[in-house]
Amino acid sequence: MNPDKMNKKEIDKNSNETMSESEKVPSFKNSLFKSDLVNRNFPRSAEGCDIQIKTPADLAPYIDHTLLKPDATEAQIRKLCEEAIQYGFCSVCVNPVRVEYCAKKLMGTGIKVCAVIGFPLGATDSKTKAYETQDVIKNGASEIDMVINIGALKDRDLKTLEEDLRAVLRACRSTTTTKAIIETCLLTDEEKVIASQLVKKVGYDFVKTSTGFSTAGATAHDVALIRRTVGPKMGIKAAGGIRTFEDALLMIKTGATRLGCSASVKIVSV
């Protein structure tokens, strides 16, 4: 079977065949993952280590400290980097034009630079996204958060959606951490499952919920749904609307292994 011609049912079938019983995606005829997942712990990685959060500061290594506003100044970006160093955040997440500056500021600190690609609409063509990816990596980004072709998903044009994902992946280095933003607030639950399965199939490291620039951000329901879809080993980044320690902890408890936050300092300083 040509993967480019696989429909939704075939993706579901193939995905379930490669999963254990505990990882299989339930039928949409059944109720979807309500309170049973809110208190469930999920492994943070293939090593199977649980995320243990005892204090707000314990969240810092899981946070991408984020500033994506179009009017962000150099002074604000400098402060973002300084805060990332001070609090030990995983990365700073910035627009491509700020990547080189951040890479220089963070050199030798262990703090990563994450760049957004095709942001925030995902509506640029695949060649443009691939070029943008190559450019930010050249300028010092070690992680990329790309926005998928949401229109192609809505059209059920999975061939175009998959090629868009693969074009960006081909532009990455083997060491680049890759995240695909599916913009959950614009999708039905069925579409969230289809997108998450395809992101996993193509070989990305993370499914990311949201840009934070659309109608809503991450929800516990969506994180739990994605976790049930991709299984216990794949990364999930929850982003958008995470403003308090309680918000962040709920995302971790429902399956997130990375958080995209602009209120990072407030979250870890409670």
CA atoms within 13 A on the CB side of 21: 0
Catalytic residue among 208, 222, 247, 253: 208
Is 157 labeled as catalytic in the residue annotation? no
Where helices occur in the chain by DSSP H, the ranges are 8-17, 74-87, 99-106, 126-138, 150-154, 158-171, 189-202, 220-230, 245-253, 264-268
In this structure, what is the dihedral angle of CA atoms 82, 141, 241, 226, given to the nearest 10 degrees?
-140
Instruction: Please report the sign of the dihedral spanned by the C-alpha atoms of residue 257, residue 258, residue 261, residue 265.
Output: positive
CA atoms within 13 A on the CB side of 254: 25
CA distance 183 to 249: 21
How many CB atoms sit inside 10 A of residue 163's CB?
16
Q: Would you say 227 and 42 are in contact if contact means Cβ atoms under 8 Å apart?
A: yes
Is 145 labeled as catalytic in the residue annotation? yes
Catalytic residue among 105, 192, 200, 237: 237
Q: Would you say 35 and 247 are in contact if contact means Cβ atoms under 8 Å apart?
A: no
Q: Would you say 165 and 118 are in contact if contact means Cβ atoms under 8 Å apart?
A: no
Catalytic residue among 145, 164, 205, 222: 145
Give catalytic residues, as residue numbers: 145, 208, 237
